[in-house]
Amino acid sequence: MLQYMRVSICLCVLITWFPVHGQRQLSTKSKKATELYYQADNYRVRGQYRMALDLLKQAIQKDKNFHEAHFRIAVIQKAKGELDEAEASFQKVIQLNDGNNAPSYFELSELYLQKNAYGKALEYADKFLLSGSRNSRRVEEAEQFRRNAQFGLENADFASQYNPRPLSDTVNAFPMQYFPILTVDQKSLIFTRRLGTTTQYDEDLVISTKLPNGQWGLPETISENINSEFNEGTCTISGDGRTLIFTSCYGRKGYGSCDLYISTKTGEDWSYPVNLGPNVNTSAWESQPSLSSDGRTLYFISNRQDGVGKRDIWVSEISDDNVWQKPRNLGRTINTVNDEVSPFIHPNNRVLYFASNGLTGFGGFDIYFSDLNGESWEEPKNLGFPINTGEDQVSLFISSDGNKGYYSHEDNKDVGRKGRLYEFDVPESAKIKYRSGYVYGVVTDAKTQLPVKAKIELFDLKEDKKVGIVQSDSINGKYLMVLTEGSEYALYINKVGYLFSSLSFDYTRDNPEPIEKDITLNPIELGASTILNNIFFDTDSYDLRPQSKTELYKVIRFLNGNPLVRIEISGHTDNIGSADYNLRLSKDRAKSVFNYLIDSGIPSDRLKFEGYGSKRPIDDNSRPEGRQNNRRIEFQIL
């Protein structure tokens, strides 16, 4: 899993600088010190740092000027996050060694990046580059350190605050908790917990629910159907909270070391997880999923072949028959020759956050974001200081309204508890351009009042483009659809055998506050009617506005799908103005819809139009909202 990536990188550094036993003449003349040094190596390469350090310290007791042993200690201290101790040890190495100190210069440059000491990081990167090192890989990394140090000098704002705070001990109740995600309604927090600080302990997914007092409740297993004797972690959930995709490594039937699995929620029960299949999973490593708000687009990390770098971001869409398609690489605008990890697609589906160590930043892994422009992702931007620092930042979750951020932080000095979950207030400079709200409710049959499983489609009226599809729950009828600032939307609720229902939302100006809206669907039968909420006219006009065509196409599709149905199109107004004027305007508007349908190929003998003026109000004309509801176009089954 990702949280152990940093250890593996540090081990590579340890192995690279000093060749194996028998290949290098050490500075010490003490045979015992040499023996202890190589014994320590056996523990070091397995990550058993405590034993390695003990042996190295014994070697130094035999020869206090044994600079290679001091160097080993320094690198282990750095790997453990003991940066002050490591800094002192590296400086000791330089003091003792009158030969080539390029390895210490390299390590100190990275160390000072981690400490946000960008001037010193630049100094030691330059010292390394001037040393004449022939290690081309290290030269490339040092050049990256230099770019990062320069970036830090130019962009770090140490006065900036974002108020990070650990969540309560009620949530941070385990030795390790990481990769937090939040449901769109911000009422549930889901994360991975581990009952110990090493990989031998099991990972499970747990959920904490927000209590009426605003506090987070005790974490509970998300489902006995999901958690198992195997490990479950790094998950993502759809906006309506009913599709969960997670990572599982080893044990389950799969295609590679780590695969992605899916579970769906019906009523209050999660299904048994199913492997996403060979289109998504391969013999390589797949992990760290992130779902679009409607659950139909999946971003994830893989180190499969044919990528741009080591670990890349890939994306897959689900087809209309619910099959995940072969993923595509997000390409060189996003992916680099190094590692991209932890993608997070915001609920607005317009901003992608991810971590990378291949782009210039403050050092190590930084969080970047990219805005979707049409069908293409823009050049990534660094999220900035102080969210990014010289330490690794590898996971971030931003709430749907853009106000809160969540992440996990590992503290090697926190004995017995290595990872905690944090919350912070997103600085103004880092806030998203388009916030997201949502509409939610229950879909029922108008006659029986029983829940209905319906398809719910969201269209952007400006672009006449479908931007989301969800389904209401077959057990309780619940639905939730994310709505994002910046456009006008039409929401359609569809079920075979029923008239469709439509809702209209103008989010070009309004704040995206949650809206509760229960829907009743009328069975297709004589006299059944529905309001066309997305037919638009200018004031005192009967000319159809362009935004109306989405709804008109919906009516056409309904009529083509139900060839025996005849309908009456009726126009209605509020009570402002004279009765004659309102009657004439309502009839002209109904006729405009009638003519559009005929011009689109609907036979005239299946259509009728009529205007009723203000005679059939459905709301109170004394209120502006009521008058708006009374100004409408309906159709009724004849």
pLDDT tens-digit readout, 368-389: 999 999 889 999 999 888 888 8
Give the pLDDT confidence score for residue 508 in this predicted structure: 84
What pLDDT score does 16 carry?
42
**pLDDT above 80 for 198:** no
Q: What number is the average pLDDT over the span 257-265? A: 94
Angle made by CA atoms 569, 571, 575, in degrees to the nearest 5: 160
DSSP-derived secondary structure letter, 24: S
Helices (H) and strands (E) in the chain, counts: 11, 34
Residues 6+ apart with CB under 8 A from 284: 256, 257, 302, 303, 304, 305
- pLDDT at 507 (0 to 100): 86
Query: What's the pLDDT at 453?
Result: 96
Contact in structure between 281 and 258 (CB atoms under 8 Å): no
**pLDDT beyond 50 at 10:** no
Which candidate, 17, 197, 157, places its Cα nearest to that of 101?
A: 17
Tens digits of per-residue pLDDT, 547-605?
Answer: 999 999 999 999 999 999 999 999 999 899 899 999 999 999 999 999 999 999 999 99
Q: Give the pLDDT band (50/70/90) at residue 510.
A: low
CB 293 within 8 A of CB 349: yes
- For residue 493, name the pLDDT band (cuts at 50, 70, 90): very high
Q: What percent of the chain has pLDDT over 70?
A: 95
Residue 476 has pLDDT above 50, yes or no: yes
Place of tokens 């502006």: 624
Q: What pLDDT, on a 0 to 100 scale, did the predictor assign at position 93?
A: 96
Q: Poorest-confidence range of 119-128, 477-486, 504-513?
A: 504-513
Confidence of residue 353 (pLDDT cuts 50, 70, 90): very high
The pLDDT score that the predictor gives to residue 24 is 67
Cα 588 to chain centroid distance, Å, stands at 48
The 3-class secondary structure across 550-566, one letter per residue, is HHHHHHHHHHHHCCCCC
Alpha-carbon gap, residue 186 to 378, rounded angstroms: 28
Mean pLDDT of the chain: 90
Q: Which of 67-81, 153-167, 564-578 has the lowest mean pLDDT?
A: 153-167
Please compute the mean of the pLDDT values over residues 459-471 and round it to a whole number.
91
Predicted confidence at residue 417, as pLDDT, reads 62
Residue 14: its pLDDT value, please? 40
The two structure tokens encoding residue 307: 């990528």
Residue 349 makes CB contacts below 8 A (sequence gap 6+) with 292, 293, 297, 372, 467, 468, 482, 484
Mean pLDDT of 132-160: 92
Question: Which has the minimum average pLDDT: 12-21, 236-245, 521-530?
Answer: 12-21
Whether residue 386 has a cis bond before it, omega within 30° of 0: yes
Token pair for 638: 């004849």
Question: Is pLDDT above 90 for 463?
Answer: no
pLDDT of residue 15: 40
Give mean pLDDT, residues 346-351. Answer: 94
Q: Where are the beta strands (DSSP E) in 114-272?
A: 165-166, 176-182, 188-194, 203-209, 220-221, 233-237, 243-249, 258-266, 269-270
**Positive or negative torsion for Cα 209, 212, 213, 214:** positive
* 23-67 pLDDT, tens digit each: 468 999 999 999 999 999 889 888 899 999 999 999 999 999 999
At 157, the pLDDT band (50, 70, 90 cuts) reads confident
In this prediction, residue 415 has a pLDDT band, given cuts at 50, 70 and 90, of low
pLDDT the model gives residue 416: 56
